[in-house]
Structure 1
């Protein structure tokens, strides 16, 4: 990054963060503290109203705003496609805001940049799955949860668990403190403190129904931060499956969440998974038919045989 770009980036960073120390800026832009001092002096001489307080850091004087900056074609495309994603994946209110943002971005782009950005966007397409059925309910659930999170209100809902035992109830009533929403592997998850389990749990929005925002407020655990939160890894069951080379590409493209490795093996490919319970892979394995073979554990091999036997009886 050259000096001019760095100085502009420093002003943007100060505008975003408010107060920053020279050490913070040096770490951010991977340069020396002495260089940051020189940049601050150059910005002041250029008329940027920077205030510095020993032991506190630098800040922009109140009321100062950076004039609109120009975007490269790549930056414009990233923002416009990002707005497309927000409009598709978030609730209706953010969909409207996303379209409004796109119009404002397009309005300030120079004509040549706008035309080139539009040309690139014309060959990149995000496919939505539609608004009917589960997708429509998910968006409604998302909007309710977003409001509950911002207002710090408890929620109550009915949750459908992925339970392999037919004798065990799949549905349960939950009261939870909603901490945040996470989009992973194509699905939205609610991270929340569950009062039934007395611990932080994850809930797929597609399995939530009857959501109600309660009047009771909650406080997030002081030690919890969503950007750095990582759930405990409780996937203790290792599964190894032989895969016919004819479907190796399709198996790899399936991007199974539990897959740890996919390597060439004896006359085929070896897929290794880590799961919480064998049933997490049962339907996935059956779906490939005779093109896959469970190597271990033996208990999963037995479950596959059992399911095939049931299927044969019903044919």
Structure 2
């Protein structure tokens, strides 16, 4: 990063956050603390009112704001593509705000930049992955955003793809919602489930009759959505053989449970890690005779039984 770009970025970081240490800034911009000291001095000499407190960090004097910032072509393209993504994947309110943001960004661009941005955008199309969020999911997304911000519990019917330990696939859940995550093209709610008495994940596409309750909850002080990582409870390994002529298609499929792939003389050997082998059953059957389960034996028998049931239909 050029020094002039870094100086502007430092001011923007200080404007976003109340206080930052030199070590924090050095980590953000991948440079040395000594360089940050020199940058702070250069900014101060240029008239930027930076206040430094030993042992605490740097901050901007209250009331100081940067004048409007201009964008180059690449920055403008990145912002406009970002509005495309929000419009596709977020709820109606954020989708409409994305449209107005796009118009405002385009309006403030100089004519020469606007023409170049338009030219570049004709060569790029954003496909956010998976199906677009449908009307019902967008409605649920908006309700859940409200419930998370207002710290109100929600209730909904939920359908699991695989049955729980009690054998049920459908249940009614009351959840303290902590956050929303877009995973593999699908929105997922993370929250404390009263039925299971633990933190759980819920796909919005599997919810039904979502209701925001009056009951409130306290957000746990030790939960940070940005740092949160789901506990990995996938301890069952499945090995399959994909015949050579479908190897490329299997690679492109990028199944969520795939761990490793190895080319062999007889085809592509793929290792999966799952909670239950049945999670892969429909996926394996979809490849027909071009895919063979090598292990575990229980899944081989399950596939065989399913094929026999299919034969009876024909």
TM-score bucket of the superposed structures, by smaller chain: over 0.9
Indicate the residue corresponding to 1:175 in structure 2.
174
Give me the TM-score of the superposition, normalised by structure 1: 0.94
Indicate the residue corresponding to 2:285 in structure 1.
286
Indicate the residue corresponding to 2:193 in structure 1.
194
List aligned pairs for 1:9-24, cutoff 5 A.
9-24=9-24
Residues in 2 aligned to 1:296 and 1:313: alpha-carbon distance in whole angstroms: 26
Indicate the residue corresponding to 2:235 in structure 1.
236
Native 8 Å contact 1:156 1:212 kept in 2: yes
Deviation at 1:28, TM superposition (A): 2.2
Q: Deviations over 1:60-88 (max 9, x none)?
A: 11221111222222211111011101011
Indicate the residue corresponding to 2:138 in structure 1.
139
| RMSD, aligned CA | 1.8
Indicate the residue corresponding to 1:57 in structure 2.
57
Indicate the residue corresponding to 1:109 in structure 2.
109
Structure 2: which 5+ residue stretches go unaligned? Answer: none
Residues in 2 aligned to 1:271 and 1:2: alpha-carbon distance in whole angstroms: 45
Residues in 2 aligned to 1:249 and 1:287: alpha-carbon distance in whole angstroms: 16
Native 8 Å contact 1:164 1:279 kept in 2: no
Indicate the residue corresponding to 1:30 in structure 2.
30
Indicate the residue corresponding to 2:217 in structure 1.
218
Native 8 Å contact 2:87 2:99 kept in 1: yes
Residues in 2 aligned to 1:12 and 1:30: alpha-carbon distance in whole angstroms: 16
Indicate the residue corresponding to 2:155 in structure 1.
156
Following TM superposition, the consecutive aligned residue runs of length 4 or more in structure 1 with deviations greater than 4 angstroms are: 127-131
Residues in 2 aligned to 1:304 and 1:120: alpha-carbon distance in whole angstroms: 49
Indicate the residue corresponding to 1:314 in structure 2.
313
Residues in 2 aligned to 1:30 and 1:243: alpha-carbon distance in whole angstroms: 44
Residues in 2 aligned to 1:308 and 1:75: alpha-carbon distance in whole angstroms: 53
Native 8 Å contact 2:173 2:194 kept in 1: yes
Residues in 1 aligned to 2:241 and 2:273: alpha-carbon distance in whole angstroms: 15
Native 8 Å contact 2:162 2:279 kept in 1: no
Q: Secondary structure at the match of 2:238?
A: strand
Deviation at 1:130, TM superposition (A): 7.7
Deviation at 1:33, TM superposition (A): 2.9
Q: Deviations over 1:89-117 (max 9, x none)?
A: 00000011111111111122222221121
Indicate the residue corresponding to 1:82 in structure 2.
82
Q: Deviations over 1:194-224 (max 9, x none)?
A: 0111100000100011111111111122211
Residues in 2 aligned to 1:115 and 1:267: alpha-carbon distance in whole angstroms: 54
Deviation at 1:127, TM superposition (A): 4.7
Indicate the residue corresponding to 1:47 in structure 2.
47
Deviation at 1:54, TM superposition (A): 2.5
Structure 1: which 5+ residue stretches go unaligned? Answer: none
Name the stretch that deviates more: 286-295 or 260-269.
Answer: 260-269
Q: Secondary structure at the match of 2:271?
A: strand
Deviation at 1:281, TM superposition (A): 0.3
Indicate the residue corresponding to 1:250 in structure 2.
249
Structure-2 change in CA distance of 1:203 and 1:90 (3 Å): same
Residues in 1 aligned to 2:2 and 2:81: alpha-carbon distance in whole angstroms: 28
Indicate the residue corresponding to 2:124 in structure 1.
124
Native 8 Å contact 2:153 2:177 kept in 1: yes
Q: Secondary structure at the match of 1:226?
A: coil
